[in-house]
Structure formats: C-alpha cells, structure tokens
C-alpha cells in the first residue's frame, strides 16, 4: 500500500516540531541543538532526527545526550502528537547541513 506524499510530509512535520520542542525542554542549553531534517523509512517504522549542534565541539556530547533520551522522546511523541504508529527513532548529526554551511563560508570569502 502506497502512502501519499502529503501524508509523509505531514508526519515529518509533526515529528520535526515535536523533536524541536522536546530538545528545547530537555537540553541544558550548554549548546544549541537544532533539528534540520527527518529521515523517515517508507513504512514509517524508523525515523532519523538530523540535528546540528553549536558549538561544533559539543556535537558528541549532544548526540550522547539525545541517545540517552530516546525512550523519553518516543514517549513524548506518543503523548504530544496524534500519530497512530510511532516509529523507532535515532538522532544523528546532519552532515549535509554542515557541508552546505561550509560552502556558504567559502563562497562569501571569494
């Protein structure tokens, strides 16, 4: 059964907003963690929350924190959204966003 692109976009948007809210509530604010993208499998069973962290030297600390909070995050999604099927989550640094920012820096210096 194929799902519509509109439904997929809606689910990604719901997860993205909820992830940003969860991170804002739970983080200690020693670094700024920003949700940049959501990777969602075709069957909606798994989702990767891509983030950027500032300052960059806090990336591993932030990812460790987010991994420790995975169960709480899934429960937050269950409680705060109307998603019927809750995917299993992972958090990862958004390498693509880091590359885009680097390209922006280089193009400004030219």
**CATH number, position 48:** 3.30.300.20
**CA distances in angstroms from 32 to 44, 70, 84, 109, listed in the order given:** 28, 18, 30, 25
> What per-residue confidence (pLDDT) applies to 50?
97
> What per-residue confidence (pLDDT) applies to 107?
79
Distance CA 71, CA 89 (A): 9
CA atoms within 13 A on the CB side of 29: 2
Distance CA 21, CA 98 (A): 22
* Tokens read off for 24: 């804002």
> What per-residue confidence (pLDDT) applies to 4?
76
For all residues of the chain together, what is the average pLDDT? 91
Antiparallel, parallel or unpaired: β 46-54 and 88-93: parallel
Cβ–Cβ under 8 Å, residues 33 and 105: no
Q: What CA dihedral angle connects 24, 26, 14 and 89, to 10 degrees?
A: 130
Higher pLDDT pick, 87 / 1: 87
Domain count, the chain: 1
> What per-residue confidence (pLDDT) applies to 2?
59
Give the domain range for residue 37: 5-109
pLDDT at 80 over 80: yes
pLDDT at 29 over 60: yes
């Amino acid at each position: 059964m194929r799902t519509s692109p509109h439904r997929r976009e809606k689910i990604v948007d719901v997860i993205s907003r909820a992830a940003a809210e969860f991170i804002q509530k739970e983080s200690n604010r020693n670094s700024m963690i920003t949700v940049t993208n959501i990777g969602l499998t075709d069957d909606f069973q798994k989702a990767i929350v891509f983030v950027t962290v500032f300052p960059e030297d806090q990336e591993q600390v932030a990812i460790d924190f987010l991994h420790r909070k995975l169960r709480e995050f899934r429960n937050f999604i269950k409680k705060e959204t109307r998603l019927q099927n809750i995917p299993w989550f992972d958090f990862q640094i958004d390498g693509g966003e880091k590359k885009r920012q680097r390209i922006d820096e280089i193009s400004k210096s030219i």
